[in-house]
Structure 1
Amino acid sequence: MNQLKQKLNQVIEFERLEEKLKFLNDEIDEKIVFSTSFGFEDQVISHAILSQKLKNIEVFTLDTGRVFNETYTTWYKTELKYQTKIKPFYPPTTELESFIEENGINPFYDSVELRKQCCSIRKVIPLNRALDGTSVWITGLRAEQSNNRHDMQGIEFDEDKQLYKFNPLIDFTTEDCFHYLKENRVPYNPLHDQGFISIGCAPCTRAIKEGEDFRAGRWWWENGNKECGLHVK
């Protein structure tokens, strides 16, 4: 683990995103994964991985079954552009069927507890399966995204999951990301052009209004810090 940490510390010495990811791909023997939700941040990282054909980094996505059609279209266009297949992980059928049978199809509007249960079944459980055996988890987290992400570092050790998280875009601004996408002609979710900034499941995401917080469109009926459980410390 110490040797892995030393190599990860070397990553931050590189300036360009492509150089950082290629170093990980070439120098680290342990399992490396990147989780994409096809948001604009993740499309930046996907391009840096897939355009360089970094085969030692596994790209996967969590398909909750409730995402926007535009998200599926972005998924399809990404696979088409880079001539690749992105590995999907799905919610456990038995748990999901029982949850819906007991609570209804849209119980997340009824209470924070039910919303978090839904997120756990549709996201957290599949994520844990996807991360099994992983040493380095690459994410699209940025400090600008929300208040509880301001203190996150480029490299962090996740005690709960016992792996390192590498957040290569931690200091990127929204403008940085879209400049990168346009410069490299990377497909991105068209909902971003309609005021949707942070895009999750369709029933739980709306466009934000001028002056609203970056994540105001996620679980907009709730107050306080709003997370699905994937990146909560």
Structure 2
Amino acid sequence: MTTFHSTFDPATLRQWDKLLGQVAAIAADHHDAVFASSLAAEDMLLLHAIVQAQAPIEVFTLDTGRLPAQTLGLIDTIAERYGVVVKAIKPDPAAVHEHVAQFGEFAFYESVDLRKACCAIRKVEPLRRTLQGHSAWLTGQRRGQSVTRVELAESEFDPVFGLQKYNPLALWTEEQVWAVIRALNIPYNPLHDQHYPSIGCDPCTRAVRPGEDARAGRWWWEQRTSKECGLHAGNLKAIDPQTV
């Protein structure tokens, strides 16, 4: 069992030990499993678990070309701390150029459709390309992150990309995530300390105000029910129109 500070919450300790077992089991069942890390706090915790469990799971991140410098800096931090190479997957430059030339550099502010088109080019297509040929992928999603994730399963078949999808942190609370990060001194994006609980592309992310939803700073000009970029489009089925 992992040794934590004596004041560490026993329930969270059980969650952590469960996570180590989950990661090891996923690696055993899927020798080609990959972890799509957004380099967020949850993903840094999950990476730490993968390393501690000695699970041979490849890690990659989607470098959209618009990520904050603080986010990209974590790639070097991970290499130094864990000896893990995070593969940066970039979008097709021709597709990016064509979209910008046709609609403008900041067209995503104009409509949800144009924002999703940008996400499709910079995120969804690179993810689809990277997942091709694999049998499973992992994410750091939690139910508490968004109204679109309230029914998130720890394990599910992903109908969008056609492989098994694991969300081992689905049942974790934000408090538990940060308790483990603090206890194990896990590195994280410094923007989290500046009121950025959810961090995406720089022009699409702002700090949240006291009392706001954790994802209020993502695509803040849109309705909260649209706040998925397409990577987790299957989550949208969880929305009850009568509750939002």
Name the TM-score, length of structure 2 as normaliser: 0.86
Retained in 2: the 8 A contact 1:30–1:134?
A: no
- 1:179 equivalent in structure 2: 179
Q: Residue 62 of structure 1 contacts residue 123 of structure 1 at CA under 8 Å; is this kept in 2?
A: yes
Alpha-carbon deviation of 1:153?
Answer: 1.1
Tell me, in whole angstroms, the C-alpha distance in 1 between the residues paired with 2:17 and 2:81: 26
What residue number does 1:120 align with? 120
Per-residue displacement from partner, 1:49-98 (whole Å, max 9, x unpaired)? Answer: 1234322x111110001011110122211111001211111101111110
Following the alignment from structure 1 to structure 2, what is the Cα–Cα distance between the partners of residues 71 and 160? 26
- 1:81 alignment partner in structure 2: 81
Question: Retained in 1: the 8 A contact 2:90–2:126?
Answer: yes
> In structure 1, how many angstroms separate the alpha carbons of the residues matched to 2:26 and 2:231?
23
1:194 aligns with 2:190: no
Q: Which amino acid aligns with 1:38?
A: L
Which residue is 2:72 aligned to? 72
Asked if 2 retains the 8 angstrom alpha-carbon contact of 1:21 and 1:49, the reply is: yes
Residues 76-225 of structure 1: pairs in structure 2 closer than 5 A = 76-225=76-225
**Structure 1 partner of 2:231:** 230
Letter in 1 for 2:233: V
Letter in 2 for 1:104: G
Question: C-alpha distance in 1, partners of 2:102/2:203?
Answer: 19
Separation in structure 2 between the aligned mates of residue 122 and residue 35 of structure 1, nearest angstrom: 14
- Contact in 1 for aligned 2:91/2:125 (Cα 8 Å): yes
Residue in structure 1 matched with residue 46 of structure 2 by the alignment:
45
Conserved 8 A contact 1:196-1:206: yes
- 1:158 is aligned with what amino acid? D
What is the count of residue pairs matched by the alignment?
Answer: 218
For residues 53 and 152 of structure 2, what CA distance do their matches in structure 1 show? 27
1:201 aligned partner, one-letter code: C
Q: Structure 1 segments of 4 or more deviating over 6 A?
A: none
The amino acid across from 2:110 in the alignment is D
Aligned equivalents of 1:73, 1:95: Cα separation in 2: 26
Structure 2: 5+ residue runs without aligned partners? Answer: 1-15, 235-244
Query: 2 CA distance for matches of 1:81 and 1:201?
Result: 25
Residue 15 of structure 1 deviates from its aligned partner by 5.1
Q: Which residue of 2 aligns with 1:23?
A: 25
Seq. identity, %: 43
Q: Give the partner amino acid of 1:195.
A: H
- Counterpart CA distance in 1 for 2:48 and 2:202 is 25
Q: Distance in 2 between matches of 1:53 and 1:40?
A: 20
In structure 2, what residue type is equivalent to 1:34?
A: F
**Cα distance in 2 between the residues matched to 1:178 and 1:224:** 24
1:141: how far off? Answer: 0.9
* Aligned residue type for 1:189: N
Where does residue 4 of structure 2 map in the other structure?
Answer: none
Partner deviation per Cα, 1:7-30 (whole Å, 9 max, x = no partner): xxxxxxx952112112222x2244
Q: TM-score, normalised by structure 1?
A: 0.90
Asked if structure 2 preserves the Cα contact closer than 8 Å seen for 1:42 and 1:140, the reply is yes
